[in-house]
Amino acid sequence: MNILLTNDAINWEQIAHLDWVQAMQACEQDAIFHAEGNVYIHTQMVVEELRKSKEFTTYALEDKQKLLLAALCHDMAKPKCTVLEDGHIRSPKHALVGEKMCRELLWDVDFKFREEICALVRLHGMPVWVLERDNSNALPIASSLRLNNQDLYLLARSDMQGRICKDQDEMLMKVELFKELCQELNCLEQPKQFQNSHSRFKYFYKKEEYPAQVYDDTTFEVTMLSGLPGSGKDTYTNQFDLPIVSLDDLRQAHKVKRGDKKAEGRIIQLAYENAKEHGRKKQSFIWNSTNLTKDLRQKFISAIAPYNPKIRIVYIETSWQNVLSRRKTTIKQNALRQMRRLLEIPQLTEAHEVEYHRN
């Protein structure tokens, strides 16, 4: 972590030896948008623009490190994502892939610090195109629940300043408009405030145009666990006297092996039936599965939401060494690495409450 600040300077000589940085040095960019050269040259320019900004100088050391790491990593996935299309160099989905690469790189760093960096990497391009989207309010509101939009504004502005292109002024104007939008929505330097958690849940679940004000009439709670195998989800459930719908328990009871796709579908159907039975009874319960992606979580939430529960997602994580050692006899290391690459950390836009436990 100390490669970023040495007497308030950047140790570029040490950074240049990192393998993923060397990949950026070898990755060219389209001259229309990046006449300055390869991804690494652009990254250096972004970092230096960030460092000399007036706002950055007022930040505490930890916040400086966070922003500098985000700037250093914001395009780290371009070497993996870059393609040549119709004579132009493109890097589709590099922010999405970059978030996952950043998380893998910083897995055993402080969880909150790491996730703020990952969020900045994932969303660094959003301020430029947000106003072109339908319901453009929802995006900065959602990002405010995950990071500080002022940090995102500084990174996006530095990203635009740290390049040579004809439309730089236009891009910078769009970033400024993003800042104004956040100010209007009262979510530039703080999370957007809702009347209650049920109002927030309904706003994102129903995709309404303006934040809803909804009376919280939920009467029971569904706790959804999320986390890699070996993270400690079973240990967590043991402290509660609640019914548990567990896919692993159902697999064991019906003697179904992981990877048996035909039988797996039957297990999932049975788990959903059990969950809905609890829903009909308005009975709180725990849904215990890996739930690694937003799509998987949303599928279950959509199935149980008609029963009007309060949804609480509990994400559980441990060190990478623990994951490997706890599952070395049941899941191959390559499969665990693939699961980690698929992982999407649960966000407050998905549920009434989200808790994070790093053990």
Name the pLDDT band for 2 (thresholds 50, 70, 90): low
| Residues 236-251, mean pLDDT to the nearest whole number | 92
CA-CA distance, 101 to 157, in Å (whole number)? 23
**Is residue 7 situated within a structural domain?**
no
Pairwise pLDDT comparison (7 vs 233), residue with the higher score: 233
**Is residue 247 situated within a structural domain?**
yes
Three-state SS sequence of the chain? CCCCCECCECCHHHHCCCHHHHHHHCCCCCCCCCCCCCHHHHHHHHHHHHHCCHHHHCCCHHHHHHHHHHHHHCCCCHHHHCEEECCEEECCCHHHHHHHHHHHHCCCCCHHHHHHHHHHHHHCCHHHHHHHCCCCCHHHHHHHCCCCHHHHHHHHHHHHHCCCCCCHHHHHHHHHHHHHHHHHCCCCCCCCCCCCHHHHHHHHHHCCCCCCCCCCCCCCEEEEEECCCCCCHHHHHCCCCCCEEEHHHHHHHCCCCCCCHHHHHHHHHHHHHHHHHHHHCCCCEEEECCCCCHHHHHHHHHHHHHHCCEEEEEEEECCHHHHHHHCCCCCCHHHHHHHHHHCCCCCCCCCCEEEEEEC
The crossing angle, in degrees rounded to 10, of helices 149-161 and 61-73 is 50
Phi, psi torsion values for 64, nearest 5 degrees: -65, -45
Q: Are residues 238 and 168 in the same domain?
A: no
Domain boundary at 126, 158, 184, which? 184
Q: What is the CATH number of the domain that holds 96?
A: 1.10.3210
Q: Are residues 66 and 175 in the same domain?
A: yes
Residues in the chain: 359
CA-CA distance, 188 to 273, in Å (whole number)? 43
pLDDT tens across 17-62, in order? 999 999 999 999 999 999 999 999 999 999 999 999 999 999 998 9
Q: Are residues 138 and 272 in the same domain?
A: no
**Is residue 192 situated within a structural domain?**
no
pLDDT > 90 in the chain, percent: 85
**Is residue 350 situated within a structural domain?**
yes
**Is residue 213 situated within a structural domain?**
no
Domain boundary at 184, 204, 232, which? 184
**Is residue 45 situated within a structural domain?**
yes
Question: Which domain covers residue 236, as residue numbers?
Answer: 221-358
Q: Are residues 228 and 303 in the same domain?
A: yes
The mean pLDDT of the chain is: 94
Q: Are residues 52 and 178 in the same domain?
A: yes
Q: Are residues 108 and 155 in the same domain?
A: yes
Q: Are residues 172 and 251 in the same domain?
A: no
Q: Are residues 35 and 179 in the same domain?
A: yes
Q: Is 135 exposed, middle or buried (0-12, 13-18, 19+ CB in 10 A)?
A: exposed
Name the pLDDT band for 255 (thresholds 50, 70, 90): confident
**Is residue 108 situated within a structural domain?**
yes
Q: What is the CATH number of the domain that holds 354?
A: 3.40.50.300
Q: Are residues 237 and 178 in the same domain?
A: no
pLDDT tens across 268-284, in order? 999 999 999 999 999 99
Q: Are residues 168 and 233 in the same domain?
A: no
Nearest to 327 by CA among 245, 223, 238, 233: 233
Do 312 and 222 meet the contact criterion of CB atoms below 8 Å apart?
yes
Domain count within the chain: 2
**Is residue 261 situated within a structural domain?**
yes
Q: Are residues 281 and 234 in the same domain?
A: yes
Q: Are residues 117 and 261 in the same domain?
A: no
